Amino acid sequence: MSVLPREQVTGLILAGGRGSRMGGVDKGLQNFRGLPLAMHAMLRLAPQVGEVMINANRNLGAYESFGAPVWPDALPDFAGPLAGFLAGLERCETPYMVTVPCDTPLFPSDLVARLGAGLLAAGADIAMPRTGDQVQPVFCLMRTSVMESLVRFTQEGGRKIDRWTAQLACAEVPFEDESAFFNANTLEELQQLERQRA
| Number of alpha carbons in the 13 Å side-chain half-sphere of residue 118 | 21
With beta carbons less than 8 A apart as the criterion, state whether 87 and 69 touch.
no
Q: Could you list the residues known to form a binding site for Mg(2+), using ranges.
A: 103
Question: Is residue 144 included in any domain, yes or no?
Answer: yes
Question: Is residue 91 included in any domain, yes or no?
Answer: yes
Question: Is residue 1 included in any domain, yes or no?
Answer: no
Burial class of residue 7 (count of CB atoms within 10 Å of its CB; 0-12, 13-18, 19+): exposed
The model's pTM is 0.92
Return the closest-CA partner of residue 169 out of 142, 137, 131: 142
Question: Is residue 39 included in any domain, yes or no?
Answer: yes
The pLDDT value given to residue 40: 95
Q: Could you list the residues known to form a binding site, using ranges.
A: 14-16, 27, 55, 73, 103
Q: What is the mean pLDDT of each run of 10 residues along the chain (198 residues)?
A: 90 82 78 92 97 95 95 76 92 97 94 97 97 93 95 88 93 94 83 72
Question: Is residue 75 included in any domain, yes or no?
Answer: yes
Q: Could you list the residues known to form a binding site for GTP, using ranges.
A: 14-16, 27, 55, 73, 103
Count the domains in the chain.
1
CA angle at 165 for the pair 44 and 119, rounded to the nearest 5°: 55
**Domain housing 91:** 6-196
- CATH at 17: 3.90.550.10
